[in-house]
Structure 1
Amino acid sequence: MNMSKRFIYGLVSLATIAMAGSSLAQNSPTPGGTLNMIAQPEPPVLMVGLNSQGPTLYVGGQIYQSLLSYGKDLKILPSLAKAWEASDDGLTYTFTLQDGVKWHDGKPFSADDVVFTADKFLREAHPRWRYIANTYVETITSPSPDKVIFKLKKPFSAFLYAFELSSFPVVPKHIYEGTDYRTNPANQTPIGTGPFKFKEWKRGSYIHLVKNEDYWKEGKPYLDELYFRIVPDAASRGVAFEKGAVDVLRGGDVEGFEVRRLSKLEGVTTTTEGWEMYSPLVFLQMNLRKAPFDNKLVRKAVMHAINREFIVKNVWFGLGEPATGPLASTTRFYTKDTTSYPFDLNAAKKLIAESGIKPQEHTIRLMPIPYGSQWDRMAEYVRQQLEQLGFKVNIQAVDAGGWSQALSDWNFDVTFNFTYQYGDPALGVARHYLSSNIIKGTPFGNNGGYSNSKVDELFLAAAEAVQTDQAAKAYAEAQKILTDEVPIGWLFEQRNVTIMRDKVKNLVRTGIGVNESMDEVWIAK
């Protein structure tokens, strides 16, 4: 298959996408109503262009939009772009924008906003887009108010998958041009083009969004308002749903055993769909800049010392699959032909002895990701396993902002993270391993400091491949090298469950699930 083949897409209605587990056959959505959800943990900011942590994206996804969206089959769908076209040589991409779009402050949206977003704001502030723009993009121009043209320096086979909401949130030029993006006051009162507008953020209690009466899709959104409740305690979140104070629980809002219990309640629907674009893979992030994790044998020992099946079954209550390497099994170009690390403490201790490292001389700071008690329990388990290898381990508790800052500044020994695959390894996977992406300021780059010129070469060759088999060959070789060198300790692939009341209709429509604009969500009376 020629990967630079011409793509021309017309208008597509997102309403045609089916949602498993809900009745979309009803032809008369009921306008009005309030949808109550949970933001867990409380996000540090709602500006998606500056922070793409899960809670920020969940709330911010109703405020901001991108040019494109993606179906559960990863088919490319329209959002702020109604049509798009790629040249035969794969070097020129032309986007035609929707008509009549306005920012929440009433200013007209135009191609100038997209050019500013791509060439200025995200090039500076967004690690994934910065890499794509600096590596592949030659120019970004606007020949008319409704058209944007990207000219590439060389082919990039994943380019049309680079416009998912968290990767390319379009921001208002008139608000951010000439300012310090990170300190702009609009970050606290976000202005987007989405179906809901920011109303109020009562810290520690709720985030309130209201219907955008000037939304560019006529007659939508159906809902009047959204509340994202801040409920720090997992048990209390389950009670809130059970008593009807909350209508939706997304993956991670409650613990695994609560997922089982709440899913069986009368009038409740569940689905594992809506994660196809992300395919999250949880990993142990080690700082390779210093001992003991600068030693490959230590990293291999850690992999043997952690029972990934135990983590999935006992910490996450079966909501996952043990990972085998850097790519999720649901992602293009995944291969099983890699180095494996079965749970084997004896093998782990032998590798530690061979490494020359004296574990008792090292005190490791283990920083859990602050997303709930399951992550805390996993930290306790990992500490126990590292201590069995002879290391001293201190668990370092931080909030969401502190975790992001520490990882961004490389101020950590070991932490947890999870990568979204974004439909293609060039977008979601390579960023954690490319030496060119060792950049301070983001928790989602090459934070461990791994550098291997051969791996760099293979990822770049795969991304620029014209033929699919060429890309597959390069990705397969990269996976073999990475699983041998273990720059990251891959743990498991998440299988998230969204739980909702039957009255909530049309919630999970695309491959980005509850992060999708909820303009077509309605509540049955």
Structure 2
Amino acid sequence: MRAAAIRGTGAVAATAALAVAASACSAPGTGGSGGASAGDSAVVGIAYEPETLSPLLGYGKDGNSKIFDGLLTHDADMKLQPALAAELPKKSADGLTYTFELRTGVKFSDGKPFSAKDVVHTYETILDEKTNNPYKTELDALKSVEAKGADEVVFKLKYPYAPFAERTVQAIAPAHIASKQDVNTGDLTTEPVGTGPYTLVKWSKGEKLTFKANPRYWGGEPKVKNFTMAIIKDDDVRATRLRSGDLDGAILPPNLAKTFAGDKARKTYEATSFDYRVVTLPTGNKVAGDTAVRRALDVAVDRKAMVDAILDGAGKEAYGPVPTDSEWFTKGTERAHDLKQAGEILDEAGWRKGSDGIREKNGVRATFPLWYLSGDKLRQDHALAYASDAKKAGIEIKVQAGTWEVIQPRMDRDAVLAGGGAPADPDFDQYAMLHSKFAGGDDFNNMGFYENPAVDRALEKARETDDHADRKAAYDTVQRELVKNPGYTFLTHIDHVYVVNDHFGTLTTQVEPHDHGFATGPWWNVEDWQPKK
């Protein structure tokens, strides 16, 4: 499970207290009732910020970065559409070659022309072993990328990787700048130059990112000229600042969004998402790593109660990374809430209840810590509900809050209330989360150190064929194996909820990943907004 999946789009691991204090005392907008900005400006509150603004290090890998473009992009229905490419790619019959004709006349925000060499430089640099890009395994199928003149790019693959076109929403960096810098420390990481609808004015880390419309944007200069993303990690603080008029919009937990129901000056938007909340059960923990405990927790948890009480119905029960309404979901892998079955599983495995109701086996008490990110009310509520359900089965879970600096070193032995989810393709989320080769190699991939040879084989087969039926069968295998040995307890899939000033009229949302509003939400297409006059 990668860092972006857990923390938001490359979120920094700054302390929640400092982030909240900085954002609360340094307002990005002018304030006032009814909205932070007026006319051609917008200020929105989000939960996380990027670690870098360089596409070579992971920024914009899933598209929609505002500063950069990919060859392709997603429309409102999540269908691939041309962006820097003039049209969708031509794919060879064997699935090993993708040819892109590029859009002509495109310029970077510094006035330099975009060409095929920028595409080649971007992909080759990402794959370079010296580049500290944590997502380079997402391009594992790529064998080579070659420019054919200025306006054509040819990608050759090692195997027919079915979702490769989805990978080409990757943001493209300017070769004329990037080639002259250290990829890991150069100015591009904080002073980006792209082809997107906005340029960065200032990044006040831990506080806000301020953008202005790019007059050279190939799609036409946006009507919203000034756009600010205020970094406010604490959900309650974000809601308070929205209510005070300091923000034009914000992502909020469903229960906080509900408090704006009677506000006629604002609209609430719900976006269906693949975003899940999950408890990691690290193999290195004697209790959480026990298969019987994992299976018992999987049926002890009351997922429906979490959807109803924590999400106010804005979501659905989760039994794995794939939502139950997805074509990739395996029917029959739903797990009913059944405390009796949980007890039977534990009894059979030798976990016996003590005088205080907590189980024990071979001198090991059935207890372990569960961490959640400070300031994240949804994670806190999920963690507390999970611990309550577990205790009814005789398992004691000690819920604790912390920053990522505190949590990360403990993830090999302590459980974490994490998140993830990617709608573009099942490979995007499951491969890094479940394949054993990531166990212990990257703390934010395969956080539970999960190892299952049957899952490894299925994941490999699914990504190395473009036959839909074969892929579906492989992901069915993965989901059935997760029933036998969960490794993680999936809890809910969350519909993202946003509240936005009505000044911008009726907006739209997409089916969303686990992104916390940075590149998604109603501002996924802020460049197309038409402010009311």
User: Same fold, TM exceeding 0.5?
Assistant: yes
After TM superposition, give the deviation of residue 507 of structure 1 in Å: 4.5
Give the CA RMSD over aligned residues: 3.1
Partner SS state of residue 490, structure 1: strand
Question: Is the CA contact 1:386–1:393 (under 8 Å) kept in the aligned structure 2?
Answer: yes
Question: Is the CA contact 2:61–2:171 (under 8 Å) kept in the aligned structure 1?
Answer: no
Q: Does 1:355 align with 2:349?
A: yes
Tell me the residue number matched to 1:75.
79
Q: Does 1:88 align with 2:93?
A: yes
Q: What are the within-5 Å matches in structure 2 for residues 179-198 of structure 1?
A: 181-198=183-200
The equivalent position to 1:323 in structure 2, one of 318, 327, 330, is 318
Tell me the residue number matched to 2:9.
none
Change (3 A) 1:193 1:173: same
Question: Is the CA contact 1:71–1:509 (under 8 Å) kept in the aligned structure 2?
Answer: no
Question: Is the CA contact 2:277–2:379 (under 8 Å) kept in the aligned structure 1?
Answer: no
Partner SS state of residue 227, structure 1: strand
Q: What are the within-5 Å matches in structure 2 for residues 13-28 of structure 1?
A: none
Question: Is the CA contact 1:331–1:425 (under 8 Å) kept in the aligned structure 2?
Answer: no
Q: Distance in 2 between matches of 1:421 and 1:150?
A: 23
Question: Is the CA contact 1:46–1:187 (under 8 Å) kept in the aligned structure 2?
Answer: yes
Tell me the residue number matched to 2:268.
270
Tell me the residue number matched to 2:526.
518
Tell me the residue number matched to 1:343.
337
1:15-47 Cα distance to aligned partner (Å, 9 max, x none)? xxxxxxxxxxxxxxxx96111101214554444
Question: Is the CA contact 1:195–1:518 (under 8 Å) kept in the aligned structure 2?
Answer: no
Q: Which amino acid aligns with 1:201?
A: W
Change (3 A) 1:504 1:400: farther
Q: Distance in 2 between matches of 1:318 and 1:299?
A: 26
Question: Is the CA contact 1:40–1:371 (under 8 Å) kept in the aligned structure 2?
Answer: no
Q: Does 1:38 align with 2:45?
A: yes
Tell me the residue number matched to 2:250.
249
Question: Is the CA contact 1:41–1:400 (under 8 Å) kept in the aligned structure 2?
Answer: no
Q: Which amino acid aligns with 2:417?
A: F
Q: Distance in 2 between matches of 1:58 and 1:244?
A: 31
Tell me the residue number matched to 1:298.
293
1:272-329 Cα distance to aligned partner (Å, 9 max, x none)? 34x5xx5222221221234223321111112122211121111222211011333112
Question: Is the CA contact 1:248–1:501 (under 8 Å) kept in the aligned structure 2?
Answer: yes
Q: Distance in 1 between matches of 2:440 and 2:134?
A: 8
Partner SS state of residue 429, structure 1: helix
Tell me the residue number matched to 1:436.
437
Q: Distance in 2 between matches of 1:72 and 1:230?
A: 25
Q: Which amino acid aligns with 2:530?
A: W
Q: Which amino acid aligns with 1:524?
A: K
Change (3 A) 1:150 1:172: same
1:463-506 Cα distance to aligned partner (Å, 9 max, x none)? 33443223222222222122221022111111112322222157
Tell me the residue number matched to 1:133.
139
Q: Distance in 2 between matches of 1:473 and 1:522?
A: 45
After TM superposition, give the deviation of residue 373 of structure 1 in Å: 1.5
Q: Distance in 2 between matches of 1:154 and 1:361?
A: 48
After TM superposition, give the deviation of residue 133 of structure 1 in Å: 2.8
Change (3 A) 1:43 1:153: closer
1:205-235 Cα distance to aligned partner (Å, 9 max, x none)? 43211222222223x1111111122344433
Change (3 A) 1:234 1:482: closer
After TM superposition, give the deviation of residue 393 of structure 1 in Å: 4.0
Question: Is the CA contact 2:47–2:234 (under 8 Å) kept in the aligned structure 1?
Answer: no
Question: Is the CA contact 1:312–1:320 (under 8 Å) kept in the aligned structure 2?
Answer: yes
**TM-score (normalizing by structure 1):** 0.80
Q: Distance in 2 between matches of 1:180 and 1:401?
A: 26
After TM superposition, give the deviation of residue 397 of structure 1 in Å: 2.6
Q: Distance in 1 between matches of 2:322 and 2:496?
A: 17
Q: Does 1:240 align with 2:234?
A: no
Change (3 A) 1:471 1:60: closer
Partner SS state of residue 267, structure 2: strand
After TM superposition, give the deviation of residue 367 of structure 1 in Å: 1.6
Tell me the residue number matched to 2:18.
none
Q: Distance in 1 between matches of 2:214 and 2:442?
A: 33
Tell me the residue number matched to 1:118.
123
Tell me the residue number matched to 1:65.
69
Question: Is the CA contact 2:139–2:167 (under 8 Å) kept in the aligned structure 1?
Answer: no
Partner SS state of residue 431, structure 1: helix
Tell me the residue number matched to 1:454.
454
Q: Does 1:508 align with 2:512?
A: no
Question: Is the CA contact 1:367–1:412 (under 8 Å) kept in the aligned structure 2?
Answer: no
Q: Distance in 2 between matches of 1:48 and 1:411?
A: 29
263-272 vs 222-231, which deviates more? 263-272
Partner SS state of residue 498, structure 1: strand
Tell me the residue number matched to 1:26.
none
Partner SS state of residue 298, structure 1: helix
Q: Distance in 1 between matches of 2:64 and 2:92?
A: 33
Q: Distance in 2 between matches of 1:347 and 1:85?
A: 53
Tell me the residue number matched to 1:258.
256
After TM superposition, give the deviation of residue 150 of structure 1 in Å: 0.8
Question: Is the CA contact 1:222–1:520 (under 8 Å) kept in the aligned structure 2?
Answer: yes
Partner SS state of residue 144, structure 1: coil
Tell me the residue number matched to 1:9.
none
Tell me the residue number matched to 2:204.
202
Question: Is the CA contact 2:63–2:73 (under 8 Å) kept in the aligned structure 1?
Answer: no
Tell me the residue number matched to 1:499.
499
The equivalent position to 1:109 in structure 2, one of 106, 114, 119, is 114
Partner SS state of residue 112, structure 1: helix
Tell me the residue number matched to 1:4.
none
Tell me the residue number matched to 2:15.
none
After TM superposition, give the deviation of residue 422 of structure 1 in Å: 3.0
Tell me the residue number matched to 1:13.
none
Q: Distance in 2 between matches of 1:509 and 1:321?
A: 18
The equivalent position to 2:102 in structure 1, one of 77, 80, 97, is 97
Q: Which amino acid aligns with 2:75?
A: G
**TM-score (normalizing by structure 2):** 0.79
Question: Is the CA contact 1:462–1:474 (under 8 Å) kept in the aligned structure 2?
Answer: yes
1:159-197 Cα distance to aligned partner (Å, 9 max, x none)? 222234xxx232333444475544334323333322111
Change (3 A) 1:196 1:59: farther
Q: Distance in 2 between matches of 1:247 and 1:382?
A: 34
Partner SS state of residue 86, structure 2: strand
Q: Which amino acid aligns with 1:242?
A: R
Question: Is the CA contact 1:96–1:148 (under 8 Å) kept in the aligned structure 2?
Answer: yes
Partner SS state of residue 183, structure 1: coil
Tell me the residue number matched to 2:149.
144
1:366-396 Cα distance to aligned partner (Å, 9 max, x none)? 2213462121222222333444555554444
After TM superposition, give the deviation of residue 400 of structure 1 in Å: 5.2
Q: Distance in 2 between matches of 1:47 and 1:411?
A: 29
Change (3 A) 1:163 1:390: same
Q: Distance in 1 between matches of 2:65 and 2:531?
A: 19
Partner SS state of residue 327, structure 1: coil
Question: Is the CA contact 1:104–1:192 (under 8 Å) kept in the aligned structure 2?
Answer: yes
Tell me the residue number matched to 2:223.
222
Task: Extract unaligned runs of 5+ from structure 1.
Answer: 1-30
Count of equivalent residues:
475
| Percent of residue pairs identical | 24
Q: What are the within-5 Å matches in structure 2 for residues 338-487 of structure 1?
A: 338=333, 340-356=334-350, 358=360, 361=365, 364-370=368-374, 372-391=376-395, 393-399=397-403, 405-406=408-409, 410-438=411-439, 440-441=441-442, 443=444, 445-487=445-487
After TM superposition, give the deviation of residue 48 of structure 1 in Å: 6.0
